[in-house]
Chain A
Amino acid sequence: MTERQHSTRSRILAMLLLADLGLGVFFGGLAVSSASAAEGEDTVEVVPTAEPTAEPTAEPVAAQVSQIPTVDADGSMTIGWLDTVRDESTLNYPLFQNLVVSVSQVQDLTYQAVKVEWSGGVETSPRELAANYLQIMQCWDDGSGTADPAHCQWGAPSGLSLTTLGDSAGSRSLSYEGADPLQDYTGKFDIRPAPGEFDHSFGVPFESSPSSNFPDGQSTQDSFQFFGATTTNEISGARTSADGTGSTSFEIQTSLEAPHLGCGATQEGGEIRNCWLVVVPRGEWTVDGSYFDEGVSGRLMGSPLSQTNWNDRIEFPLSFRSVDSGCPIGASENRTTGNEMIVTAFSSWQSAMCAKKTVFGFSMIGDSESRRNIISATAGAARLSFIDAPLSATESTGSTLIYVPVVKSALTVAFNINYFIKGGSALSYKDGQQVTDLTLNARLVAKLLTQSYQDDVADGAHQSYLSTNPTSIRQDPEFLALNPEFEEFVNTAAPNGLLVPIGNEDVIAQLWKWVKSDESASGFLAGEADEFGMIVNKYYEDLDINNDATIDSFPKADLTTFREYEYIPEPGFGTFELRPYIADFHDGGVRAYRGDAGIKTFWDVTKTPPVFTSPGAQLLGRRFMLTVTDVVTANRLGLSTAKLVNPNGQAVSPTTEAINSAVSEFVDSNVPGVSVSTPTMIKDESYPLSTLTYAAVDICRATITDLESFRLLLLYVITKGQKVGNGLGQIPVGYVPLDAEQRSLAKRSLSVISTEITAPACTEHQSTAPTGTVTPAATPEGSVTPLVEEPNGPSVEFPADPNPALQYSMLSALCFGIPMIAGGRTLIRKANDL
Chain B
Amino acid sequence: MNIRRTFIKSTRATLALFLTGIIVSGGSTAALAVDYVPISGAGSSWSANAIDQWRRNVKQYGMSVNYASTGSVDGRNQFKGGTVDYGVSETPYGLTDNGVLDELPARPFVYVPIVAGGTSFMYNITSGGNPITNLRLSGDVVTKMFTGVITKWNDPLIAADNPGLTLPDRAVVPVVRSDGSGSTAQFTLWMATKYKSLWDSYCAKVGRNECGQTSFFPTTAGMVAQPNSQGVSGYVAQKANEGTITYVEYSYALKTGFPVAKILNDAGYYVEPTASNVAVGLLGAKINQDKTSKMYLTQELGGVYNNKDARAYPLSSYSYMIVPTTEQSAFTTAKGATLSAFANYFLCEGQQQAEVLGYSPLPVNLVKVGLEQVAKIPGADPSTINIAKCNNPTFSASGENTLAKNAPMPDPCDKKGAEQCTAGTGGAAATSTGGVVGETTGTDTTGATGTGTTGGMLGGTMGTGPTQCDADTGTCSNIKAVPVATTSLGWAATNWIILSVIIVLVLVVVVPPVLVTYAARKVRSS
Contact = CB atoms under 8 A, between A and B. Distances in A.
Interface of A: 24-25, 28-29, 31-32, 34-36, 38-39, 211-214, 222, 224-225, 230-231, 255-259, 265, 323-335, 337, 343, 347, 350-351, 354-366, 368-369, 372-373, 377-382, 395, 502-504, 539, 542-543, 548, 553, 555-557, 559, 570-571, 574, 576-577, 580-581, 583, 600, 608-609, 611-612, 703, 705-706, 708-709, 763-764, 767-768, 771, 773-774, 777-782, 795-796, 799-803, 805-806, 808-810, 812-814, 816-817, 820-821, 824-825, 827-829, 831-832, 834
B33 interface: yes
Contacts of B480: 332-334, 359, 705-706, 709
A581 B234 CA distance: 8
12 contacts: A28-B21, A327-B61, A347-B59, A357-B30, A366-B257, A379-B475, A502-B237, A709-B480, A774-B468, A780-B487, A781-B26, A812-B14
A23 B508 CA distance: 19
A801 B32 CA distance: 12
A817 B479 contact: no
B151 interface: no
B491 interface: yes
Interface in B25-58: 25-38, 40, 52-53, 56-58
A601 B464 CA distance: 53
Given A354-B60, A799-B25, A827-B513, A782 B491 contact: yes
Contacts of A708: 481
Given A35-B21, A213-B337, A612-B227, 8 more contacts: A28-B18, A213-B334, A324-B33, A379-B473, A543-B240, A557-B241, A709-B481, A780-B487
A332 B483 contact: yes
Contacts of A35: 20-21, 24-25
A337 B40 CA distance: 25
B333 interface: yes
Interface of B: 3-4, 7, 11, 14, 17-38, 40, 52-53, 56-64, 66, 69, 98, 100, 178-179, 216, 221, 224, 226-227, 230-231, 233-235, 237-241, 254-257, 329-330, 332-334, 337, 341, 344-345, 349, 352-353, 355-357, 384, 389, 391, 393, 427, 429-430, 443, 446-447, 449-450, 454, 465-473, 475, 477-484, 487-488, 490-492, 495, 498, 501-502, 505-506, 508-510, 512-513, 516-517, 520
B55 to A, nearest CB: 11
A706 B491 CA distance: 21
A832 B4 contact: yes
Contacts of A255: 35
Given A327-B30, A553-B256, A357 B483 contact: yes
Contact of A576 (B100, B226, B341, B465): B226
A213 B38 contact: no
B26 A213 contact: no
Contacts of A806: 21-22, 25, 495, 498
Given A38-B25, A583-B69, A773-B468, A325 B60 contact: yes
A580 B227 CA distance: 9
Contacts of B233: 502
A804 to B, nearest CB: 8
A365 B378 CA distance: 34
Contacts of A825: 512-513, 516
Nearest to B6: A831
A255 B473 CA distance: 47
Q: Which residue, of A330, A373, A574, A764, has the highest number of chain B Cβ atoms within 10 A? A: A330
B491 A780 contact: yes
Contact of A365 (B30, B31, B234, B255): B255
Contacts, number: 387
A703 B473 CA distance: 11
A31 B38 contact: no
B40 to A, nearest CB: 8
A815 B21 CA distance: 16
Given A328-B34, A580-B227, A802-B26, A779 B256 contact: no
B319 to A, nearest CB: 18
Given A259-B38, A327-B62, A810-B498, A828 B446 contact: no
A34 B136 CA distance: 64
B472 A767 contact: yes
A800 B256 contact: no
Contacts of B520: 828-829, 832
A813 B504 CA distance: 10
Nearest to B226: A576
B491 A31 contact: no
Nearest to B445: A377
Contact of B17 (A28, A337, A768, A773): A28
Contact of A796 (B24, B30, B517): B24
B352 A333 contact: yes
B526 to A, nearest CB: 16
B25 to A, nearest CB: 3
B18 A809 contact: yes
Given A357-B483, A581-B230, A801-B29, A796 B23 contact: yes
Given A378-B449, A764-B470, A780-B26, A324 B18 contact: no
A503 B255 contact: yes
Nearest to A326: B30
Contacts of A580: 227, 230-231
A539 B33 CA distance: 54
Nearest to B455: A332
Contact of B446 (A334, A377, A795, A814): A377
Nearest to A777: B488
Contacts of A379: 446, 449-450, 454, 473, 475, 477
A796 B510 CA distance: 26
Contacts of A782: 488, 491-492
A36 B471 CA distance: 42
A50 to B, nearest CB: 25
Nearest to B24: A35
Contacts of B98: 609
Given A576-B234, A581-B230, A382 B356 contact: yes
Contacts of B179: 611
A212 B62 contact: no
B390 to A, nearest CB: 10
A347 B18 contact: no
B349 A369 contact: no
A361 B353 contact: yes
B482 A778 contact: yes
A359 B508 contact: no
Contact of A36 (B24, B256, B492): B24
Given A259-B35, A773-B479, A782-B491, A28 B14 contact: yes
A175 B230 CA distance: 45
Contacts of B349: 330, 332-333, 361
A357 B27 CA distance: 9
B455 to A, nearest CB: 8
A574 B227 CA distance: 10
Contacts of B30: 326-328, 355, 357, 801
A780 B227 contact: no
Contact of B255 (A222, A502, A555): A502
A-B pairs with the 6 shortest C-beta distances? A331-B483, A799-B26, A802-B25, A379-B450, A31-B21, A824-B513
B238 A555 contact: yes
B133 to A, nearest CB: 14
A705 B468 contact: yes
Contacts of A709: 480-481
B56 to A, nearest CB: 7
A354 B62 CA distance: 11
A382 B480 CA distance: 13
Contacts of A778: 479, 481-482, 488
A423 B105 CA distance: 53
B483 A359 contact: yes
Given A257-B64, A577-B227, A816-B14, A212 B35 contact: yes
Contacts of A571: 224
